[in-house]
Amino acid sequence: MSTAVTAPEPRLPHEVLPASEAAKGAREVPAELALELYRLMVLIRDVEDAVQPLYNAGEIHGTTHLCTGEEAIGVGICTLLDPQRDRVASTYRGHGHAIALGSSAQGLLDELLGKATGTGGGRAGSMNVIDLEHGLLGCFGIVGGSMAAATGAALALKGTGAIAVAFFGDGTANQGYFHECLNFAQVHRLPVLFVCENNLYGEFTPFEAITAGAISARPDVMGIPNARINGNDLWDVRDCAGRFIDEIRAGGGPRFLEAITYRFGGHSRSDPGAYRPDGELDAWKQYDPLVLERRHLVDELGVDAAVVDAIDQDVAAEVEAMVERGRAAAWPTPDPDLTEFAP
Amino acid sequence: MSEIAFRTAIRDALDEELALDEDVILFGEDIAAPGGVWATTPGLQQTHGSDRVFDTPISELAMTGAAFGSAACGKRPVIEIMFGDFLTIAMDGLVNQAAKWWFLSGGKVRVPLVVRSAIGAGGQFGAIHSQTPISWFLGVPGLKIVCPSTPNDAKALLRASVRDDNPVLFLEHKRLYAMKGEVDVEPAEIGSARVVRDGSDVTLVTAMKSVHDSMAAAEELAAEGIEVEVIDLRTLRPLDFPTVLASVRRTHRLLVVEEGPRTGGWAGELLAEIAELALEELDDAWRLTCPDTPIPYSPPLEGAFLPSPAAIAASIRARLSGAPSEESS
């Protein structure tokens, strides 16, 4: 018996994105804050857009995993945190989270270029950026590693009012880490926000094909309050994450967010994403978080389109200059004093 | 001074460090209310409170990752992985996180954590509850491996491990838990071996339970006029090469006895380093290990599998007489 292989159906944003939180009640957004967050999203987008050509030119090495299209989640959540006391554990797709926390975009770019001026002095690379001074416990290259690191950070932060945040993808839902950490955090009532960035693909495979049931059903059965939200809408992310973060700080134990989004690029630098059905990417580009926020700024907050244009141009020039500085920066040399052990 | 059991020395070390530094926390499966399946932690939760000493789910992945995360945020966690064989599940947090963050952060993030684990054969626990999982971790830069053989060293080295600013894998041989000895009688530092017995004919380097088996073999051989110098490594990463080298320069013969598989173990590593440093000093160098098979269950099979005092003595006798040993694995 043979089964005909049919082309997969595109998963269109208007079909899979949860309804906007805004519909649930009035939302007051100060235009000044909205512009600041928009600028941060544009900065992340432009840095990511600069990475691919540098990779193609052989100036960024190894591999990279870009968050293009997913900027609203990191920006929405990280800007609600206090990097001095809260701690964030991210993944190999972590450039956006680092920048959103206030880690230097120049340092990040230099790290990717392998330069001495990079955040890790060129030791860490794209997948393992660490910047504790800006709240970034690290980016973890093993799927699910961020969940355990954040669970441990929450253990250290319990009772202080500070919280830990774990970012991870939909593929993590099928790792042992996922189940172990949700349970561990819940039985010990740890102050941790679990954020599943569901970009619909685990590497090259649609997540439904390899995931039994709904991801949000899993925190449900452990009694962890959770929500499934539109991850491309900055203010949906902020509203829901803000509510959860307040509850966590007040001692309510862990919370779980599933933010639906879409990766505009492939899984990593060498993946063109050819497995995506025709029309899917184009449909999601209509729901680009930058496009949505620009519309929000101009149509709802009454910001002059020229002001938004100016941000786009400023950031583009800023990143262009960053790239040139990064390319001109010095290469690192081995440090004989930095051994395997801390003294 | 009265003698206490090895397991009590472990408990006392934890008790004293918990009392001394409020950042020290202790967690694991059944370690708090029940006091640990190896009875190494009784009463610690009552003394230090359930915020600092607590039971966890049977979740070695989460537990080890949580130890890493809390250590990177200022705590000094000590966790218990009940059997060393379960370290397979705990490896990611230890190998891919804890051991790497100091270096990758450019020396900005310290990860002071201790993973205690019960290891070793001799109790007929079978292939998956008796291993000495050292070779799995020996090649991990950034991780220290400590392996005491006496109650004194167990206490001193566990206290040193808790205070160390690096991740430490602290191994407790199951067959030593009931062994009694005095504590606080001799200092011990991580990375420092100890000459347990002086001898001029051969240097025997070993660790944990095999220290005692080697001492029994050395006493047996002394009656035959063969003087064995026995060195207890006490730490397997980093290895104390200078102490071994100083001994080899006098005896010119080196035997390493390792309870563990022959391939990829620390015995091979030690022989390689000494050969590289001082080949001209060596008249002979060899190792006695377990065979490269899973650990068998039945008492006679397990007994034959382990480097016993008789096997150690026979191996030395044979090598010193120039004949090949039948008992050498």
The interface pTM score, or ipTM, of the predicted complex is 0.93
Q: How confident is the model at residue B329 (pLDDT cuts 50, 70, 90)?
A: very low
CB–CB contact B69 A164 (8 Å): yes
pLDDT of residue A52 exceeding 80, the answer is: yes
In 3D, which of A168, A167, A192 has the Cα closest to residue A182? A192
Q: Is B173 a catalytic residue?
A: no
CB–CB contact A338 B66 (8 Å): no
Q: With the C-alpha atoms ordered A67, A70, A71, A73, is the resulting torsion angle positive or negative? A: negative
Say how many C-beta atoms besides its own lie within 10 A of residue A220's C-beta.
13
User: Using beta carbons and an 8 Å cutoff, which residues of A are at the interface with B?
Assistant: 87, 89, 120-121, 123-124, 128, 130, 132-133, 137-138, 140-142, 144-145, 147-159, 164, 176-177, 180-181, 183-184, 187-188, 338, 340-343
Question: Residue B89 and residue B97: Cα distance in Å, rounded?
Answer: 14
Q: Minimal Cα–Cα distance from B102 to chain A, Å?
A: 7
Tell me, yes or no, if B25 comes closer than 8 A to chain A by beta carbon: yes
**pLDDT tens digit string along B226-281?**
999 999 999 999 999 999 999 999 999 999 999 999 999 999 999 999 999 999 99
Q: Please, which residues have CB within 8 angstroms of residue B240's CB and are 6 or more apart in sequence?
A: B191, B192, B193, B233, B234
Q: Across the strands, what pairs with A140?
A: A91
Q: Are strands B194-197 and B228-232 parallel, antiparallel or unpaired?
A: antiparallel
Q: Give the DSSP per-residue string, A87-121.
A: EEEEESS-HHHHHHTT--HHHHHHHHHT-TTSTTT
Tell me, yes or no, if B65 comes closer than 8 A to chain A by beta carbon: yes
CB B58 within 8 A of CB B5: no
DSSP type of residue A128 = G
**pLDDT tens digit string along A296-318?**
999 999 999 999 999 999 999 99
CB A143 within 8 A of CB A175: yes
Top pLDDT among A17 and B72 is at: B72
* Mutation site, B25, B27, B101, B169, interface A, largest A CB count within 10 A: B101
Q: Please, which residues have CB within 8 angstroms of residue B251's CB and are 6 or more apart in sequence?
A: B199, B200, B201, B202, B203, B229
Q: Minimal Cα–Cα distance from B222 to chain A, Å?
A: 41
Chain mean pLDDT for chain A: 94
**pLDDT tens digit string along A145-179?**
999 999 999 999 999 999 999 999 999 999 999 99
Q: How confident is the model at residue B328 (pLDDT cuts 50, 70, 90)?
A: very low
First CA to last CA distance, chain B: 41
Question: Residue B214 and residue B313: Cα distance in Å, rounded?
Answer: 8
CB–CB contact B106 A338 (8 Å): yes
In 3D, which of A90, A6, A287, A139 has the Cα closest to residue B100? A139
**pLDDT tens digit string along A84-122?**
999 999 999 999 999 999 999 999 999 999 999 999 999
* Mutation site, A119, A180, A189, A222, interface B, largest B CB count within 10 A: A180
Q: How confident is the model at residue A7 (pLDDT cuts 50, 70, 90)?
A: low
**Which of B74, B97, B166 lies nearest to residue A341, judging by beta carbons?**
B166
CB–CB contact B62 A132 (8 Å): no
Which tokens hold the place of B312? 């150690």
Tell me, yes or no, if B52 comes closer than 8 A to chain A by beta carbon: no
Q: Are strands A87-91 and A136-140 parallel, antiparallel or unpaired?
A: parallel
**Quick one: pLDDT at residue A332?**
97
Residues in chain B: 329
Ordered strands of the B228-232 beta sheet: B194-197, B228-232, B202-206, B253-261, B284-290
Top pLDDT among B12 and A22 is at: B12
Residue-range domain boundaries for chain A: 67-103+129-301
Q: Which residue of B has its CA nearest to A87?
A: B73
Q: How confident is the model at residue A26 (pLDDT cuts 50, 70, 90)?
A: low
Q: Which residue of A has its CA nearest to B64?
A: A148
Size of interface A-B (CB pairs under 8 A): 140
Stretch among A18-27, A125-134, A150-159, B12-21 having the lowest mean pLDDT: A18-27
The amino acid at A182:
L
CB neighbour class for B259 (10 Å; exposed up to 12, middle 13-18, buried from 19): buried
Segment (H or E) for B163:
helix B151-163
Question: Residue B43 and residue B35: Cα distance in Å, rounded?
Answer: 7
**pLDDT tens digit string along B138-153?**
999 999 999 999 999 9
pTM given for the model = 0.95
* Residue of B17, B29, B48, B60 marked active site: B60
**pLDDT tens digit string along A240-295?**
999 999 999 999 999 999 999 999 998 888 888 889 999 999 999 999 999 999 99
pLDDT of residue A24 exceeding 80, the answer is: no
**pLDDT tens digit string along B177-201?**
999 999 999 999 999 999 999 999 9
In 3D, which of B251, B143, B140, B130 has the Cα closest to residue B191? B143
**pLDDT tens digit string along A130-140?**
999 999 999 99
pLDDT of residue B1 exceeding 70, the answer is: no
Question: Residue B55 and residue B82: Cα distance in Å, rounded?
Answer: 12
Question: Residue B76 and residue B67: Cα distance in Å, rounded?
Answer: 8
Q: Minimal Cα–Cα distance from B188 to chain A, Å?
A: 17
Per DSSP, the three-state class of A201 is strand
CB A108 within 8 A of CB A95: yes
Q: How confident is the model at residue A212 (pLDDT cuts 50, 70, 90)?
A: very high
**pLDDT tens digit string along B101-134?**
999 999 999 999 999 999 999 999 999 999 999 9
Domain annotation for chain B: domains and CATH numbers: 4-181 (3.40.50.970), 194-321 (3.40.50.920)
Segment (H or E) for A75:
helix A71-78
Which tokens hold the place of B158? 């566990």
* Residue of B17, B29, B129, B269 marked active site: B129
Tell me, yes or no, if B278 comes closer than 8 A to chain A by beta carbon: no
Q: Is B212 a catalytic residue?
A: no
Instruction: Kindly state the average pLDDT of the residues B302-322.
Output: 96
- Candidate CATH numbers 3.40.50.970, 3.30.70.141, 3.40.720.10, 3.40.50.300; the one for domain A67-103+129-301: 3.40.50.970
Please give the C-alpha separations between residue A306 and each of A302, A310, A312, B44, in angstroms, as whole numbers: 11, 6, 10, 66
Per residue, what are the HEC states of A227-285? EEEECCCHHHHHHHHHHHHHHHHCCCCCEEEEEECCCCCCCCCCCCCCCCCCCHHHHHH
